[in-house]
C-alpha cells in the first residue's frame, strides 16, 4: 500500500478494512505544468494541438471547438496500468468553453470531442481557426510532467458503494478521502489522467451511461425512465479519462470553480475509440 495512504488510514477507524480499501485504489497520473520547453507531440495544456497534415478541426453547430489539451500516452509514468490505454498515440481534447454544457443533456452531444492521433511521428502545429483567433480563444501552452498518486472512489459513487462499507464506516471513509487529497499537492489544480475522479456533485458513471443512451440527467426524469434499469449494469464500464480543474494560468473557470471530466467506457479506451468519450462539468 502507498505510504501516504497507509499513514492516512492509520488515522481512521478503518484499519480492519485496509484490504478492501487497497483493492479500490487506482493509480492516477497527476498532471503538473512543467517549466521546461515543450516539444512537438508532447503532452500539453493549452496552445494549439499537434496534428497530421490533413487534420480537420472539430466543430460544433458550425463553430470550431476550443482546444484544451493533448496527452501523449507514451509519456505516462511507470505505475499507470498500461493495459488501460492505447499503447501509443496522442489524445486531443476539445470543449465548448463558451457555453460550458454540463453533459447531462443528450443535446450536449458534440460539444466535447476527443481525437486519437495514432501517427504521432508526422505532426505539425495546427493552424488556429480564424473564429477562435478572433475570440482570443488561444490559451498559453504549458508542457506537462506527470507524477503517480493513489486515488480512491468519492463517497456516494458506484465504485465506493461496491466496496461494501457499513453505514457506520462512511464518515471515517469520508475523512480518509479528505485527508488523502489534502496531502496530495493541495495548492495545485487537480488535473489528472485516469484514476478515480475528484467528484464535486456525486456519481458520474451513472450519468454518463444514461445520457449517452439519450436519457436526460439534469433532473430525475432520466433516472426514473423505464429504460434506466436495463442500463444500470453498464454504468460500471465507464472510466475517467481526463480531469481538468479550473486553472487561472489557462483562463479556465468551469462554472463556479468547478472541474471538467472526460469519461469513456473501458473497452473503448483500450481500443482507442476516444471519439466515444463524454464530458461532464461539475461545480
- Tens digit of pLDDT for each residue in 160-219? 999 999 999 999 999 999 999 898 888 899 999 999 999 998 899 999 999 999 999 999
Torsion region of 41: left, alpha or beta (phi above 0 gives left; psi -120 to 50 gives alpha): left
Residue 242 has, within 13 A of its CA and on its CB side, a CA count of 28
State the Cα–Cα distance between residues 232 and 253, nearest whole angstrom: 32
Q: How confident is the model at residue 120 (pLDDT cuts 50, 70, 90)?
A: low
This prediction's pTM: 0.95
Q: What domains does the chain contain, in order, with CATH numbers?
A: 3-282 (2.30.320.10)
Residue with the larger pLDDT of the pair 136 and 37: 37
pLDDT tens digits for 4-25?
Answer: 888 999 999 999 999 999 999 9
Q: Is the pLDDT of residue 265 over 90?
A: yes
State the Cα–Cα distance between residues 116 and 248, nearest whole angstrom: 27
Q: How confident is the model at residue 253 (pLDDT cuts 50, 70, 90)?
A: very high
- Provide the grid cell at 170: 462512511
pLDDT at 140: 87
pLDDT tens digits for 27-48?
Answer: 999 999 987 778 999 999 999 9
Quick one: angle between helices 3-10 and 170-183, nearest 10?
140
CB-based contact 82:269 (threshold 8 Å)? no
Average pLDDT over residues 127-140: 83
pLDDT tens digits for 184-193?
Answer: 888 899 999 9
Q: How many residues does the chain have?
A: 283
CA distances from 19 to 1, 6, 200 (A): 9, 11, 26
Average pLDDT over residues 78-106: 88
Amino acid at each position: 500500500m502507498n505510504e501516504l495512504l497507509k499513514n492516512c488510514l492509520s488515522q481512521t477507524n478503518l484499519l480492519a478494512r485496509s484490504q478492501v480499501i487497497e483493492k479500490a485504489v487506482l493509480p492516477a497520473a497527476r498532471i503538473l505544468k512543467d517549466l521546461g520547453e515543450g516539444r512537438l507531440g508532447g503532452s500539453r495544456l493549452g496552445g494549439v494541438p499537434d496534428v497530421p497534415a490533413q487534420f480537420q478541426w472539430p466543430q460544433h453547430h458550425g463553430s470550431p471547438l476550443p482546444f484544451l489539451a493533448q496527452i501523449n500516452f507514451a509519456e505516462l509514468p511507470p505505475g499507470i496500468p498500461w493495459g488501460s490505454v492505447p499503447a501509443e498515440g496522442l489524445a486531443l481534447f476539445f470543449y465548448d468553453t463558451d457555453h460550458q454544457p454540463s453533459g447531462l443533456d443528450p443535446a450536449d452531444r458534440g460539444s466535447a470531442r476527443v481525437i486519437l492521433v495514432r501517427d504521432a511521428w508526422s505532426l505539425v502545429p495546427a493552424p488556429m481557426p480564424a473564429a477562435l483567433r478572433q475570440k482570443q480563444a488561444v490559451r498559453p501552452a504549458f508542457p506537462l510532467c506527470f507524477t503517480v498518486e493513489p486515488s480512491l472512489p468519492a463517497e456516494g459513487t458506484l465504485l465506493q458503494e461496491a466496496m461494501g462499507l457499513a453505514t457506520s464506516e462512511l464518515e471515517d471513509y469520508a475523512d480518509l478521502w479528505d485527508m488523502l487529497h489534502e496531502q496530495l499537492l493541495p495548492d495545485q489544480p487537480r488535473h489528472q489522467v485516469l484514476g478515480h475522479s475528484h467528484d464535486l456533485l456525486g456519481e458520474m458513471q451513472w450519468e454518463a451511461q444514461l445520457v449517452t443512451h439519450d436519457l436526460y440527467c439534469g433532473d430525475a426524469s432520466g433516472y426514473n425512465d423505464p429504460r434506466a434499469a436495463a442500463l444500470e449494469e453498464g454504468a460500471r464500464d465507464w472510466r475517467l479519462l481526463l480531469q481538468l480543474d479550473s486553472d487561472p494560468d489557462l483562463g479556465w473557470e468551469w462554472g463556479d470553480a468547478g472541474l471538467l471530466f472526460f469519461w469513456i467506457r473501458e473497452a473503448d479506451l483500450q481500443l482507442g475509440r476516444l471519439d466515444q468519450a463524454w464530458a461532464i462539468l461539475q461545480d
